[in-house]
Every structure is written in C-alpha cells, then in structure tokens.
Structure 1
C-alpha cells in the first residue's frame, strides 16, 4: 500500500492556515480555492470536502481572523482598568493589527457577521462584551451601546482604510491625527452615555 494522499489527511484548519498564509503573502486576491489548493499541493475539489467553495473559505478565514484579532486586543489591554486608557489601548491595538496584517484586516472587516449563525454570533458577543468592558458601558441601554459601537467602528475603520489606501496626503503625522480622533471619540461617547 502506498502513502495516503495528502488530500485525504487534510483538515479544515489546514485549509484555513494555508489560506491565511496566501493572504499574508499575496493579499486579498489570493483568497480562493484554486490558489489555496496550489499552496497545499492538492487538487481544488479536495478543499470542497471541508469548506463550501470560495464562500465557505472566505467565511472560515474571516472567523479565524476575528478570533485572532479579539485575542490580540485582549492581550494589548490586559490589566488596564481606567476606561479611557482601556479605550485608547484597544483602538491602538486595532490600528496596529491592521498595519501588521492589512489583508487579514480587510477580509475580517468586509465579512458581515450574522447573529443568526452560532459561531458568528459568538464572535459578535465576544466583541460586544470586550467593547462594553473597554468603555464600561454595562449600564448603558442597548441603543446607546449600538450607537457608540457604530460610531467608533466607522471612525476607526474609516481612518485605517484611508491610511491603508495612502489617501492621507496632507502634511500632518497620521499618528497625531489618530490620537486626536480617539480623544474626540471619547468626548462623543460621554455625550451618548449622558443622553440616554
């Protein structure tokens, strides 16, 4: 008997790891069944045994990246109790993650998490808990939490996307502008909390 075929010993995690490796080296265009199959040295149909084509691959990779991102944020904010310091550390951790892994960040942010899907709902809940803890929003009503999350996410994501696209052409250090934006967000967050 010969050795088992590599495709037969493949796991879904092997496919995800290979896809992320391709993503890191080649960018978002590398996130496809054909490219990942070449990376693994197998035929594309072998991947379909584990994931539902390009859609399933993109979903699995996005969820993996979301989990890694949340771990990264928790590690960068561990032991910080002051709510302002915690928010600033979390926002800086997000930007650092995006700079370190630009393609991962893009895939993660472009994937719409669905609260009706259990693994995705868990990521949403983890993200929401971390967000509530970092801003100490445990006493805020649901509308205030949603408004705050949308505002913060839009501001940080927008800044990162413009920076990544080299659209910040004015003569001003982006680091300084980011810090000013974060301080302004803190004022806006306090306003939302007081208005509920």
Structure 2
C-alpha cells in the first residue's frame, strides 16, 4: 500500500485503507489510532485531524467494509432475478466474504448501524433493498418480512459464527451442510410467502427493525 510522503497530504481514505491493511494482517486488535499511525509512518495526532480517535476510526472502517461487502454481493448477483438462484448466490457471497476477510467480517458484524445517522441509514437502505430483492418479499406484510429476515439472518450468521469459531467438529463437509441449510431456508421462505396475506409496505418502515441482509437481524 502506498503511503503519503507528508502528513499534510494525508486523507481520510489513506487512514481507512491503512487500518484495513492492519486489520487483514493482524486482526481486530490492530484497529487503533496508534497502530495505524505506525503503519502510515506518521504521528497519531495527524489522524485526529481526519477521524475522531478510535471510535471514529472504527466507524469509518466499518462503513467502508459494509459498502465493500454490499458491492461484492451486488456484483455476484448482477443480472439474476429468479428467487432461488438469487438467494443462493447472496447467501454464498456472504459466507465467502466472511471466509476471505474474517477480521473485516467481525468488525462489520460488531458495528451497529444507526438509522438516525445519514451515512449509516443509506447503508441500511441499500442492504435492505438487496435483502428484499433476494427474498422477493416486497408484497408481504411487515411482520412476515421481519420474521423472514430474522430467520435467514439467524441461520446464516449462526452458521458462519460456528464455522469461524471452529465449533464444527463432526466429520461432515461444512460446504455440504451449508447447502442443505440454504435449501431448507428456501422451503421456509416459500412457506411464509404462500401463507401470508399480501400487503404492500414501504421499505423505510422495515428499517425500524434494524435488520439488514444476512450479517445482522
């Protein structure tokens, strides 16, 4: 990664990029102003000109990771409109992201997006839109949408969490188990879609539940 030659040339993006580089190499413990300053070859006060200490650094990194994750999901599902393949691609993309970037996934998961914050609300809306597209839930009532989100989030997040914690000790391929789980979720989603009265709702109403695609809910 290229480093600014002078502190005055430093940008917020430089700081975030350096933080993510540290995160990828050393894990979540490296996500701090002092460590990132050493990475950039500058003094810590220079970072405070761009971000509000460790709290601001973590927020900026988490939002960047969220945007990267959503862009990756959108890229992998581009042009797919049918429910089953779209759901499968989205769910696989989430697990693949968690496996490729475990520390990024952890930071993203631990940061609670706030609808009251404009930047974070935009990410919530984007992620909610992708979730509803993958689930094709736009004609369900609010309770059915929330139930579906919570079910899918709990299953996928729970699977990824157990896998990352190396708790899957029985001799069975996790990939095979994941696919079985996704197939079962498809059946459950179709059941909810068929058993629920169709009521058009505004997407903004559903954001009040603070449920976003697969990582939270």
TM-score (norm 2): 0.86
What is the CA distance between 1:19 and its match in structure 2? 0.3
Q: How does 1:46-85 map to 2 (within 5 A)?
A: 46-85=46-85
What is the CA distance between 1:66 and its match in structure 2? 0.4
Match of 2:208 in 1: none
C-alpha separation in 2, matches of 1:141 and 1:45: 50
C-alpha separation in 2, matches of 1:123 and 1:47: 25
What is the CA distance between 1:5 and its match in structure 2? 7.2
C-alpha separation in 2, matches of 1:42 and 1:107: 24
Deviations 1:138-179 (A, max 9, x none): 111222222211221121111111111111000110001000
Unaligned runs of 5+ in 2: 197-217
C-alpha separation in 2, matches of 1:53 and 1:160: 30
Match of 1:178 in 2: 178
C-alpha separation in 1, matches of 2:154 and 2:32: 28
Equivalent residues, number: 193
What is the CA distance between 1:192 and its match in structure 2? 2.4
Unaligned runs of 5+ in 1: none
C-alpha separation in 2, matches of 1:146 and 1:7: 47
Q: How does 1:110-149 map to 2 (within 5 A)?
A: 110-149=110-149
Match of 1:168 in 2: 168
C-alpha separation in 2, matches of 1:175 and 1:162: 13
Q: Which has the higher helix share?
A: 1
Report the 3-state secondary structure (helix = DSSP H, G, I; strand = E; otherwise coil) of the residue aligned with 1:116: coil
TM-score (norm 1): 0.94
Match of 2:16 in 1: 16
Moved over 4 A (4+): none
